[in-house]
A and B are shown apart, each in its own frame.
Chain A
Amino acid sequence: MTRENTLVSAQWVEEHLDNPKVVLVEVDEDTAAYDKGHIKGAIKLDWTTDLQDQVRRDFVNKAQFEALLSDRGVANDDTVVLYGGNNNWFAAYAYWYFKLYGHQDVKLLDGGRKKWELDSRELTDELPSREKTSYTATEQDSSIRAFRDEVVAAIGAQNLVDVRSPDEYAGRLMAPAHLPQEQAQRAGHIPTAANVPWSKAANDDGTFKSDDELREIYSEAGVDWSKDTIAYCRIGERSSHTWFVLKELLGQENVKNYDGSWTEYGSLVGVPVALGDEKGEA
């Protein structure tokens, strides 16, 4: 994968607004953002209700995902272009999710909703109507999703990349600073994980940095390009952003996103935790 077939510019999106085979999808942490205005023709996916099982902590299953996309009018051969707020955190999460269920042609709008707004491009509150489809998903691609046992086994053996802010990594904050800090899990990070905040990969306007800049950022942080990599954050959405950078932009093989992330790991009994700014020992 490369930048050319995984990322599109705001200009490209404007030029394809009336193409029915290009489906714009907005996914935001603030699930009300779409309702205040969205790019013309864009449908909304709500990551809390559409993409998560409502009882267990897990994703919707294959059949539920098929029903969701069929209902929203997404076909298997559509080009899906995802965008959202928070510098595309949740759009990247949805991108990873579409890949997990085997959608072939999926792209991110570089810079997401923020870049679109800062460019003063048009938003509308008009709701699109799309014909229902009969979407077929594949089984989940386990090569891009990490579970807790693999993460524990990766300590000292693979690249672990903690993409949270330095204060969360060190244990000084428990959550991104736009959320309340009182949380149940322990603070800190997985020993041997490098701290490369997701934001290092993005410019202030939310667009991705160049491939050369990106490669240097991860190399400097100690990522060994010859090893497999697992990225994590707090709930798996910021690490989707980094997964996208490593796997889709830089073309690194064997990169997994650990969607359980710190809210799972920091609650596990008996696993090692490192505190402070140092990586810690295996």
Chain B
Amino acid sequence: MCGATEGGLSLDGVNVAKEAVVQGRVVRGGEPVGNAYVRLLDRTGEFTAEVPTSATGHFRFFAGDGEWTLRTLAPKADPVDRVVQAQTGSVAEVEISVG
């Protein structure tokens, strides 16, 4: 799913060349989850940022180069961890499925 920007969150107004964007969508059974929380953890597992998902299940981070973990919390679901690589000038697109 990395690199698949089609249908992803609009990048209008984002200076992609200067940012290491990690973004995507949280889904449950294929449907967007609009009340989930996505946490960005650094390579040591330390919390770096958190965003609530939008009504369409989308989220976005401006990270730095390297490996990050996305931890997704949603009502009535166990947390889901996903490792993602970020790089300045590119957009890492991730779809996260919660139970």
Interface stretch (choices A1-9, A46-54, A117-125, A214-222): A117-125
Counting contact residues on chain B (CB < 8 A from A), the size range is 20 to 34
The distance from the CB of B17 to the nearest CB of chain A, in whole angstroms, is 11
- What is the interface of chain A mostly: helix, strand, loop, or mixed? loop
> Closest residue to A37 on the B side, CB-wise?
B35
Within 8 Å CB of A176, what residues of B? 48-49
Within B41-86, the residues touching A (CB, 8 Å) are: 42, 44, 46-52, 55, 60-64, 71, 73-76, 79
Within 8 Å CB of B51, what residues of A? 178
The distance from the CB of A167 to the nearest CB of chain B, in whole angstroms, is 6
> Closest residue to A118 on the B side, CB-wise?
B75
Contact A33 B52 (CB under 8 A): yes
Contact B71 A117 (CB under 8 A): no
Contact B49 A177 (CB under 8 A): yes
Within 8 Å CB of A114, what residues of B? 37, 52, 73
> Closest residue to B52 on the A side, CB-wise?
A85
Within 8 Å CB of A180, what residues of B? 14-15, 19, 62
- A: which residues have CB within 8 A of B? 30, 33, 36, 85-87, 114, 117-120, 165-167, 172-173, 175-182, 197, 199-200, 204-205
**Could you show 30 A-B contacts with beta carbons less than 8 Å apart?**
A33-B52, A85-B52, A87-B50, A114-B52, A114-B73, A117-B37, A118-B37, A119-B75, A120-B75, A165-B46, A166-B44, A167-B48, A167-B64, A173-B48, A173-B64, A175-B62, A177-B40, A177-B64, A178-B49, A178-B51, A178-B60, A178-B62, A179-B62, A180-B62, A181-B62, A181-B64, A182-B15, A197-B46, A199-B47, A205-B73
